């Protein structure tokens, strides 16, 4: 199968990595991380596989106990785990997203929708120029979804206008790890309504697994305001004074995070495998 990353694992006989949670056949991080390869290695990779994973997050408030980098940290960890399981290359994570509505909280760094649109477009076209035909975006932030999808449409158009050799075969897919059915149902069964919609215990649990030092920030929190609409940043802070939307991140445990990572990676590995084989 031309696109299938599993091919790569078998060919290269890669060994286990220390912080992985599955399988002894998986590749080491240095063979799947684009930022650790040379251009000659990327050229060689493209002769076997035309797929690549691009993680994207956001740098924004996650309530009084959650790390600002939650969405980028989680997307990157899921992307690397999918890369380890498939042998498909993982590009460096894009840490900034569309977080305009969180700007009333310090530490939030947002791209305007139009900026994010252009960033995604330019990254996709860069990959297409080199012959990548399948770009699988693993996203950690709901606020990025609409813009990423618009950017896909523009990128197809640009690839055709630029007459890139891959234009006809180019495919982009967006996968939101927190919306994977297995992750969603596990979060509901562990936390019920207290999963909420922002600074959720599921995403905080994953950061506690990835960075145990974050445990020291966790504490009991007052009842959160229930989930409601999102308008501008000042309005957001008035409606949701500590940044949470209906969530109770004090329920999060690192052991849950390990399970969420496994479930997200399993689900997205299936999606990616199907995507790479699609005509
Ligand atoms: Zn988040």
> Taking a C-beta distance cutoff of 8 angstroms, is the pair 277, 3 a contact?
yes
Ligand 1 centroid, distance to 141 Cα (angstroms): 5
pLDDT value for 17? 40
The Å distance, Cα 56 to ligand 1 centre, comes to: 11
In order of start, what are the domains of the chain with their CATH numbers? 6-189+270-277 (3.40.50.10310)
Coil, helix or strand at residue 97: strand
Residue 28: per-residue pLDDT: 87
Task: Please give the distance, rounded to the nearest whole angstrom, from the Cα atom of residue 51 to the centre of ligand 1.
Answer: 26
Distance CA 33, CA 56 (A): 15
Give the Å distance between the CA of 87 and the centre of ligand 1: 27
Ligand 1 centroid to residue 129 C-alpha, Å: 32
Q: What is the mean pLDDT of residues 6-15?
A: 42
Across 29-64, b (16+ Cβ under 10 Å) vs e yields bebbbbeebeeeeeeebbebbbbbbbbbbbbbbbbb
Residue 161 Cα to ligand 1 middle (Å): 36
What is the distance in A from the centroid of ligand 1 to the CA of 252? Answer: 14
Cα of 61 from ligand 1 centre, angstroms: 8
CA of 180 relative to ligand 1 center, distance in Å: 15
Q: What distance in Å separates the CA atoms of residue 1 and residue 48, rounded to the nearest whole number?
A: 9
pLDDT over 90 for what percent of the chain? 90
Tell me the CA–centroid distance for residue 81 and ligand 1, in Å: 19
> Residue 14: is its pLDDT beyond 80?
no
Share of the chain above pLDDT 70, in %: 91
Under 8 Å between Cβ of 78 and 177: yes
Question: 107 CA distance to ligand 1 centroid (A)?
Answer: 14
Give me the pLDDT at residue 7, please: 53
- pLDDT at residue 156, as a whole number: 98
- pTM equals 0.92
pLDDT band at 16 (very low <50, low <70, confident <90, very high): very low
Q: Which residues pair with 198 in a beta bridge?
A: 245
> Cα(227) to centroid of ligand 1, in Å?
15
- Cα(13) to centroid(ligand 1), Å: 36
Q: What is the mean pLDDT of residues 14-29?
A: 53
Residue 233 alpha carbon to ligand 1 centre in Å: 16
Q: Is the pLDDT of residue 100 over 80?
A: yes
How many whole angstroms separate alpha carbon 165 and alpha carbon 154? 17
Mean pLDDT score, 129-141: 98
Alpha helices in the chain (DSSP H): 6-12, 29-32, 39-46, 70-86, 113-129, 145-161, 181-191, 201-210, 233-239, 254-277
pLDDT averaged over the chain? 93
Give residue-wise pLDDT tens across range 178-225: 999 999 999 999 999 999 999 999 999 999 999 999 999 999 999 999
Ligand 1: distance of its center to the CA of 8 in Å? 32
239-278 residue pLDDT tens: 999 999 999 999 999 999 999 999 999 999 999 999 999 9
Instruction: Quickly state the pLDDT bin for 22 (edges 50, 70, 90).
Output: very low
Q: With bands split at pLDDT 50, 70 and 90, how would you rate the model's confidence at 134? A: very high
Q: 89: part of which helix (H) or strand (E)?
A: strand 89-90
Task: Give distance in angstroms: CA of 181 to centre of ligand 1.
Answer: 17
Q: Where are the alpha helices (DSSP H) in 192-232?
A: 201-210
Please check whether residue 138 is in contact with residue 79, taking contact to mean a CB–CB distance below 8 angstroms: yes
- Mean per-residue pLDDT, 50-63: 98
Instruction: Measure 156 CA to ligand 1 centroid, in angstroms.
Output: 28
103 alpha carbon – ligand 1 mean position (Å):
14
Region 35-40: mean pLDDT is 98
Which residues, other chains included, contact 122 with Cβ-Cβ below 8 Å and sequence gap of 6+? none
- The per-residue pLDDT for range 72-96, each reduced to its tens digit, is 999 999 999 999 999 999 999 999 9
106-119 pLDDT, tens digit per residue, is 999 999 999 999 99
pLDDT band at 27 (very low <50, low <70, confident <90, very high): confident
User: What is the predicted pLDDT for the residue at 25?
Assistant: 63
Instruction: Residue 256: name the closest of 199, 180, 204 by CA.
Output: 204
């Amino acid at each position: 199968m031309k696109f299938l990353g599993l091919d790569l694992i078998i060919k290269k006989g890669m060994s286990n990595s220390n912080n992985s949670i599955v399988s002894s056949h998986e590749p080491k991080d240095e063979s799947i991380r684009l930022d650790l390869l040379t251009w000659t290695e990327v050229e060689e990779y493209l002769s076997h596989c035309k797929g690549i994973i691009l993680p994207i997050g956001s740098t924004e408030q996650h309530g009084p106990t959650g790390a600002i980098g939650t969405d980028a940290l989680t997307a990157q960890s899921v992307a690397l785990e999918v890369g380890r399981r498939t042998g498909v290359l993982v590009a460096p994570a894009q840490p900034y997203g569309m977080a305009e509505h969180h700007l009333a909280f310090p530490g939030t760094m947002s791209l305007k929708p139009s900026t994010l649109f252009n960033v995604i477009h330019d990254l996709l076209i860069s990959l297409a120029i080199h012959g990548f035909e399948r770009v699988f975006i693993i996203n950690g932030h709901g606020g990025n979804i609409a813009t990423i999808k618009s950017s896909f449409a523009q990128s197809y158009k640009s690839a055709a206008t630029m007459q890139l050799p891959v234009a006809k075969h180019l495919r982009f897919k967006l996968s939101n790890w927190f919306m994977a059915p297995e992750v969603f149902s596990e979060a509901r069964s562990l936390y019920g309504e207290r999963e909420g919609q922002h600074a959720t215990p599921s995403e905080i649990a994953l950061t506690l697994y990835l960075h145990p030092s974050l445990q020291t920030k966790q504490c009991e929190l007052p009842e959160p305001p229930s989930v409601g609409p999102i308008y501008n940043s000042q309005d957001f802070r008035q409606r949701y004074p500590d940044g949470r939307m209906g969530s109770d991140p004090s329920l999060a445990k690192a052991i849950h995070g390990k399970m969420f990572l496994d479930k997200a990676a399993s689900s997205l590995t299936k999606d990616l495998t199907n995507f790479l084989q699609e005509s």
